[in-house]
Amino acid sequence: MVRMIRESFAVVEPHSEEVAKFFYGMLFSLSPATREMFPANMEVQRSRLLRALVHVVQMVDRPDDLIPFLRQLGRDHRKFGVINVHYEAVGTALLSAVKKFSGAAWTPKVEMAWAEAYTLMARAMQEAADADNGPAYWHATVLEHQRVSWDLAVVRLQPDHPVSYKAGQYVSVETPQRKRLWRYYSPANAPREDGVIEFHIRSVDGGWVSRSVVGHTQAGDTWRIGPPMGRLSVDRTAGSDILMVAGGTGVAPMHAIIDEMAQFGENPRVHLFYGGRTREDLYDLDNLQRIATTNPWLTVVPVLESDPGVRGVEQGSLADVVTRYGAWEERDVLVCGSPAMIRSTVSRMLVAGTPLDRIKYDPFTLD
């Protein structure tokens, strides 16, 4: 089943944009009510569908990773009002889209493999959604909007009830300026007693939500926050030291984990490579270096791609610099940043000899 799914998806993937358009067209035809769950502009949603599909296909033979991911998706989809009957329409639309663009690669056996795989996926999502007794989303009030630079803002919010996230996870958010345009952001702080959550949000070219957040969010705005997702975390009791690789605002979940670890006297060693194009991109460097001065288990290495005049930093891409230090075979590895940064870093580390099962990253990183 795994081989047939991957081989047929390899045929379909070059036509990913057409696949996504066909999928949503078929879904809205089969279940018109689902159209109200999505924004008028479907461009980002189509991209997100394909990223999720790629992620699932990559993990289809790794159930210990895939099932938790699917269960998180099932809980997250409650915020849209998804119910069990919608899964049948989604499955029909998905198989129809893959079939249309598979050509001769689509055979009865391939169809059966996709049908079986989707049944398992849908079951995991439905069971998780049915078992979740928590809220489908939380309301949160913006306490502060701090413009750090022309394209970066720090936003602090007070949820109406504590959001049960773990340091390193991400959540979906909806802002009043962009209704139904849910986006995924990582809290940059560990959970606090007062429940306040801090987000670091950079304006993305063409980003409907990120540009609105950076430019127009105001204190008093009410956001909606979806259930926590993601698998970036540190087990302090496991005995393994940690390697963190963060690009740009991908440092937010790393900061949250470090923030939590700093509450303890003893920790595994943490080596954080924090990268950007110019020194301005490393907006959180001073804060992280301050934490490192009082926590000897933490080492922070700044990395710049396009600012050769800056001293005290490593020069090059994160992929270049991290692998220059070795393969990090004995470390648990956390990676967060843009999709391109994650792909290049993980690929280079695998070539350098880093075991795949020691690398963790999350798939949703775009505006």
Residue 310 is classified by DSSP as -
Whether the pLDDT of residue 202 is over 80: the answer is yes
pLDDT tens track for 76-121: 889 988 888 899 999 999 999 999 999 999 999 999 999 999 999 9
Contact at 8 Å (CB) between 292 and 264?
A: no
Nearest 10 degrees: Cα torsion 67, 123, 172, 251: 10
Of 13-17, 49-53, 271-275, which gets the smallest average pLDDT? 49-53
Neighbour-count burial of 87, counting CB atoms closer than 10 A to its CB (0-12 exposed, 13-18 middle, 19+ buried): buried
What is the average pLDDT score of the chain? 91
Contact at 8 Å (CB) between 217 and 177?
A: yes
Whether the pLDDT of residue 59 is over 50: the answer is yes
pLDDT at 365: 52
Query: Among residues 132, 133, 162, which one has the least CA distance to residue 225?
Result: 162
Residue 229 is classified by DSSP as B
Query: Among residues 187, 182, 142, 178, which one has the least CA distance to residue 160?
Result: 142
Contacts of 25 (CB under 8 A, 6+ apart): none
Which amino acid would we find at residue 24? Answer: Y
Q: Is 145 helix (H, G, I), strand (E, B) or coil?
A: strand
Whether the pLDDT of residue 156 is over 60: the answer is yes
pLDDT at 366: 47
pLDDT at 92: 95
Greater confidence (121 vs 45) lies with: 121
Contact at 8 Å (CB) between 313 and 320?
A: no
Whether the pLDDT of residue 367 is over 50: the answer is no
Contacts of 5 (CB under 8 A, 6+ apart): 57, 60, 110, 113, 114, 117
CB burial readout 226-260, b (16+ within 10 A) else e = bbbbbebbbeeeeebbbbbbbbbbbbbbbbbbbbb
- Average pLDDT (10-17) is 89
- Token pair for residue 305? 């791609």
Greater confidence (115 vs 43) lies with: 115
- Token pair for residue 60? 């289809």
Site of tokens 């079951």: 123
pLDDT at 58: 79
> What's the pTM?
0.84
pLDDT at 71: 92
pLDDT at 364: 60
pLDDT at 239: 86
- In angstroms, the first-to-last Cα distance of the chain is 33
pLDDT tens track for 116-154: 999 999 999 999 999 988 899 999 999 999 999 999 999
Overall size of the chain counted in residues: 367
Q: Is 299 helix (H, G, I), strand (E, B) or coil?
A: strand
Q: Is 339 helix (H, G, I), strand (E, B) or coil?
A: helix
**Residue % of the chain over a pLDDT of 70:** 98
Whether the pLDDT of residue 22 is over 50: the answer is yes
pLDDT tens track for 313-360: 999 999 999 999 999 999 999 999 988 899 999 999 999 999 999 999
